């Protein structure tokens, strides 16, 4: 039997961050666990992240930098040359035209989305709350948090982590706002909170090229409460150990939900607003807009309010953990392989 081969293309860079690529890596590893071979077609920005986070078993196929319309044909060519039966694309700039071009090089195409865009592919995955097949007419879809692309180590830690969440006095804060730290948001958050931390221990997750690193490295060297984690491979353990988080509103929300971590979610991009608001409506998170004029005092007040209310933290944990079990990547991989 021929080993299925699947080629990925994901957006990445200082403006968009690394979330698209990281969730594709999660799906790739789930596919490999079910017997597939995977490769990434990657421009320079994506290649840097792959070199840091991808296992050696995932091949890297260089792409030039360029707009989606310029890259679709080279991706199709790479798929043919590499012998891919399927492809996965995760890029907001890839519309039906680009998807049609990539499909010329493979039997089946999966598009990752969270914006209810039009597609010309065989399968769409959108893990947002309340998404249904009706949001993607004319194409098979995998919708809702049951298909959230969460790495398996989160599900492994889930039982023991949820067991300790009830009525825990918060002692440890996780700040994880994306590897690329768009706009230096991490330093803004830490500097705003530093005077009010008290005895709270803080784990700060950053990428090696994060603009906040220059400001936070000397601060952490002087303050024993602060620990920097640069390009860490231990996100599941850090999420499990934390009692409260400040996190971005992208795909990492499902990692925190899987482990029931009460979170103050920061809206860093317009496309995060609706999903974050829906999570807040369900009691899983609280939400704060980074662009608001009184962002810093509201951030301090938000963290202080959560720290002072263990019962609320327990309720948020229960609401969050009920939304995502962390097994979505395996489900999505199984369905993609079934249609190849």
Give residue-wise pLDDT tens across range 104-158: 999 999 999 998 999 999 999 999 999 999 999 999 999 999 999 999 999 999 9
Which H or E run includes 10?
strand 5-10
When pLDDT is averaged across residues 280-294 and rounded to a whole number, the result is: 94
Percent of the chain having pLDDT more than 90? 89
Q: How confident is the model at residue 44 (pLDDT cuts 50, 70, 90)?
A: very high
**How many angstroms separate the Cα of 80 from the Cα of each of 84, 107, 123?**
6, 10, 20
Are 140 and 188 contained in the same domain?
Answer: no
* CB count in 10 Å sphere of residue 50: 21
Are 71 and 144 contained in the same domain?
Answer: yes
The residue ranking higher by pLDDT, 331 or 18, is 331
Give the largest CA-CA distance in the chain.
62
Q: How confident is the model at residue 1 (pLDDT cuts 50, 70, 90)?
A: low
**What pLDDT, on the 0 to 100 scale, is given for residue 15?**
79
Q: Tell me: the pLDDT tens digits for 181-208?
A: 988 999 999 999 999 999 999 999 999 9
Are 258 and 332 contained in the same domain?
Answer: no
Are 137 and 177 contained in the same domain?
Answer: no
Are 118 and 252 contained in the same domain?
Answer: no
Judged by average pLDDT, the poorest of 135-139, 223-227, 272-276 is 272-276
Q: How confident is the model at residue 166 (pLDDT cuts 50, 70, 90)?
A: confident
Q: How confident is the model at residue 14 (pLDDT cuts 50, 70, 90)?
A: confident
Are 139 and 76 contained in the same domain?
Answer: yes
When pLDDT is averaged across residues 73-78 and rounded to a whole number, the result is: 97
CA-based angle 98:100:101, to the nearest 5? 65
Are 236 and 287 contained in the same domain?
Answer: yes
Both tokens of 99, joined, read 């998807």
Residue 297's domain comprises: 152-321
Q: What is the mean pLDDT of the chain?
A: 95
Q: Total domain count for the chain?
A: 2
**What pLDDT, on the 0 to 100 scale, is given for residue 167?**
67
Judged by average pLDDT, the poorest of 4-18, 91-105, 145-159, 224-238 is 4-18
**What is the distance between the alpha carbons of residues 75 and 70, in angstroms, rounded to a whole number?**
9
Judged by average pLDDT, the poorest of 74-78, 165-169, 317-321 is 165-169
When pLDDT is averaged across residues 281-310 and rounded to a whole number, the result is: 95
Are 121 and 194 contained in the same domain?
Answer: no
When pLDDT is averaged across residues 96-105 and rounded to a whole number, the result is: 97
* CB count in 10 Å sphere of residue 148: 28
CB 261 within 8 A of CB 242: yes
CB 112 within 8 A of CB 48: no
**What pLDDT, on the 0 to 100 scale, is given for residue 168?**
74
**What pLDDT, on the 0 to 100 scale, is given for residue 208?**
92
Q: How confident is the model at residue 269 (pLDDT cuts 50, 70, 90)?
A: confident
Are 40 and 111 contained in the same domain?
Answer: yes
Closest CA to 299 of 194, 178, 165: 194
CB 207 within 8 A of CB 185: no
Are 90 and 191 contained in the same domain?
Answer: no
Are 160 and 105 contained in the same domain?
Answer: no
Are 84 and 157 contained in the same domain?
Answer: no
Closest CA to 302 of 213, 181, 170: 170
């Amino acid at each position: 039997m021929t080993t299925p081969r699947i080629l990925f293309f994901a957006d990445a860079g200082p403006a968009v961050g690394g979330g698209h690529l990281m969730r594709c890596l999660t799906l790739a590893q789930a596919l490999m666990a079910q017997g597939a071979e995977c490769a990434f077609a990657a421009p320079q920005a994506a290649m840097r992240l792959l070199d840091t986070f991808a296992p050696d078993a995932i091949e890297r196929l260089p792409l030039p930098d360029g707009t989606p319309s310029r890259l679709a044909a080279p991706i199709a060519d790479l798929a043919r040359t590499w012998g891919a039966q399927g492809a996965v694309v995760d890029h907001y700039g890839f519309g039906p035209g680009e998807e049609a071009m990539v499909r010329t090089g493979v039997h089946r195409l999966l598009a990752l989305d969270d914006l209810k865009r039009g597609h010309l592919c065989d399968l769409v995955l959108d893990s947002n709350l309340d998404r249904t097949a009706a949001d993607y007419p004319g194409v098979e879809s995998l919708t809702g948090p049951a298909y959230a692309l969460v790495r398996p180590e989160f599900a492994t830690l889930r039982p023991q982590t949820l067991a300790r969440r009830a009525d825990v006095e918060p002692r440890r804060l996780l700040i994880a706002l994306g590897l690329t730290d768009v706009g230096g948001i991490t330093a803004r958050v830490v500097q705003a909170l530093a005077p009010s931390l008290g005895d709270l221990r803080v784990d700060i997750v950053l990428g090696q090229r994060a603009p906040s690193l220059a400001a936070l490295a000397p601060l952490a060297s002087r303050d024993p409460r602060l620990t920097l984690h640069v390009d860490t491979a231990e996100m599941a353990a850090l999420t499990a150990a934390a009692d409260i988080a400040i996190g971005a509103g992208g795909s990492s929300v499902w990692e925190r939900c899987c482990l029931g971590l009460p979170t103050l979610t920061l809206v860093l991009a317009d496309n995060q607003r609706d999903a974050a608001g829906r999570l807040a409506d369900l009691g899983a998170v609280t939400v704060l807009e980074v662009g608001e004029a009184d962002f810093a005092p509201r951030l301090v007040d938000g963290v202080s309010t959560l720290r002072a209310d263990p019962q609320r933290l327990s309720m948020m944990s229960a609401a969050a953990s009920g939304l995502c079990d962390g097994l979505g990547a395996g489900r999505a991989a199984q369905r993609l392989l079934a249609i190849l």
